[in-house]
Chain A
Amino acid sequence: MTTLEQLYQAVIDGKNKDARALAQRALDEGANPGDIVDKALVPAMAAVGERFKSNEIFVPEMLVAARAMKEAMGVLEPRLVAAGITPKYTALIGTVQGDLHDIGKNLVAVMWRGSNFRVIDLGSNVPATKFVSAINEHRPHLVGLSALLTTTMPAMVETVRAIRSAGCPPVKIMVGGAPISQQFADEVGADGFAPDAASAAEKARALVESA
């Protein structure tokens, strides 16, 4: 196996120490840091997402894969920055006001990063006004709104309304979370919905590439 193949497998298996060492070894062997991301890390997270979608793996395995990717990126990022290599797309994500759950939002952020988005995570319990000001500040291509509780679905409605009516720069809005459906997304005027983190990565790319 090549070093990149080993790195790919280490991320899938959630072996964070191996992932860091292999990313360093790939650099030492002269690999381009952008190629390491594109040929090992992005495909690894895509494979993790597929396995999650098909119920081959579950949230714990996703979390350790994400941790391994983060370790590898910790080695690569200084070299990426120095080479002027940045992700093509930027996304904001947060859990809407009143909702403190962050696992689903975190998994989507991981999958978006694994699809080579720059992701700005606003955290949980985020007021609509904070989404609006962050959009004005960062000018993202995409905003993701998450809610786990049925009781916070109205806050999602309010956040979409605020983003649409605040004179923000054009931005695609995706919604997701346990009680959210495509019907709800359509009703609130969101551009996209995904039922799981892996689908959220596919949907995000489709949305920004069609813009």
Chain B
Amino acid sequence: MEPRERYMAVLEGGRPDMLPRMPILMQFAAEHIGSYYGAFASDHRVLVEANLRCAEEFGIDQLSAISDPYRETAGFGAPIEFPRNGVPICLKPPLEEDPDLARLSRPDPLKAPRMRDRVDAVSAYKARAGGRYSIMGWVEGPAAEAADLRGVSNFFVDLLDDPAYASALMARCVDTAIDFARAQVAAGADTVGIGDAVASQVSAKLYESLILPHERRLVAAVHEMRARVRLHICGNIRHLLSGIASLGLDIVDIDHMVSLAEARRVLGPNIVLAGNVDPVACVMRGSPEAIASAVRQCYAEAGEPFMVAAGCEIPASTPPANLAALCRPIVPR
């Protein structure tokens, strides 16, 4: 099977020739091809080349457009700095001091330079390898983008002090996420990843009452575009699982601190679980044999349908032999 066939087989309830390999690569991929993170995040040609070469070398089944959290934030007007070897920095969250939503314009994904660069990455994937690999676009989830715009602490306090404001802000974020997802699907993405990591830090009550409705609208909109949805909330989301179960997701990433068996029990038999090898203790610092064993253990705990991944991003200093071990083919039972 070609990588995309393998991926779609799992999503459609069929039997792949081997489990799809879906690790999230950013700085690792950049440095693996002799480039650097700042270039990966600011120039889609570097991102595309890095991910394509890693996919070929390690046997990865999906090409991802993920790079950093600030594509939409830049579209909303935030200045972004690109350190050579670090995550891009948002120099000033646009709503940090003045929360007035009237100050936010609605960015056009094809005109805002950083958003357009991601759309161009998807187009380049489509042109170079679209039939062979699954292509995943990426958008920030409602809580993540609201936190990027307000500053994380401010947004968390907003959730308690002024939930109506926090909700209105997330609604604006979802409007833009939908626009951005639509542009990426039009460019060739078959899947849209939604990153909403800060949600792991709120209670189930706050998540279900304030954040989940916005995530649900975003997921439904992507499905209307006939694309698949992969949700990524790294960290401990054990307390959020019952809410996440109601989102109608295709794939959910599970980080290493959450039991895959429990995730399966709560999320049900149809959703694809991806994960959850410990990215630091095992993938970066473990031996290839320990990693391969951990993947098999994850599969045993998660059951079908399952895709291979670490709990979060592959750390930059991971030995290539370790990523190869993570991606070692596993024939489904």
Contact = CB atoms under 8 A, between A and B. Distances in A.
A206 interface: no
Contacts, number: 59
B330 interface: no
Interface stretch (A52-60, A158-166, A167-175): A52-60
Given A55-B239, A178-B235, A149 B160 contact: no
B112 interface: no
Given A100-B89, A103-B153, A151-B315, A60 B160 contact: yes
Interface stretch (A61-69, A80-88, A115-123): A61-69
B157 A64 contact: yes
Specify which of A14, A179, A181 lies most central, judged by the most chain B CB atoms within 10 Å of its CB. Answer: A179
Nearest to B152: A103
Contact of A63 (B153, B239, B279, B316): B153
B69 to A, nearest CB: 11
Contact of B160 (A61, A100, A153, A179): A61
B110 interface: no
Interface string A148-159: 011101100000
B156 A151 contact: no
A204 B280 CA distance: 25
A98 interface: yes
Nearest to A57: B203
A2 interface: no
A210 interface: no
Contacts of A64: 157, 160-161
Contacts of A59: 156, 201-202
A63 B156 contact: yes
A106 interface: yes
B159 interface: yes
A58 B86 contact: no
Contacts of A179: 279-280
Contacts of A181: 280-281
A76 B313 CA distance: 45
B279 A150 contact: yes
A176 B202 CA distance: 20
A91 B137 CA distance: 44
B86 A98 contact: yes
Given A103-B152, A151-B316, A179-B280, A67 B203 contact: no
B156 A60 contact: yes
A28 to B, nearest CB: 27
Contacts of B202: 58-60
Interface string A127-154: 0000000000000000000000111011
A43 B11 CA distance: 52
B251 interface: no
Nearest to A178: B235
Interface in B59-102: 83, 85-87, 89
Given A64-B160, A150-B284, A183-B281, A58 B203 contact: yes
Interface in B190-239: 201-203, 206, 235, 239
B322 interface: no
Interface string B99-111: 0000000000000
B27 interface: yes
Contacts of A98: 83, 85-86
Interface string B22-63: 000001000000000000000000000000000000000000
Given A149-B87, A150-B315, A154-B317, 13 more contacts: A58-B202, A59-B156, A60-B201, A60-B206, A63-B157, A67-B157, A150-B316, A151-B316, A151-B317, A179-B279, A179-B280, A181-B280, A183-B281
27 contacts: A58-B201, A58-B206, A60-B156, A60-B160, A60-B201, A60-B203, A61-B160, A61-B203, A63-B157, A64-B161, A98-B85, A98-B86, A100-B87, A103-B152, A103-B201, A106-B153, A150-B284, A150-B313, A150-B316, A150-B317, A151-B27, A151-B85, A151-B86, A151-B87, A151-B317, A153-B280, A179-B279
Which 4 A-B residue pairings sit nearest by Cβ, starting from the closest? A150-B315, A60-B156, A59-B201, A179-B280
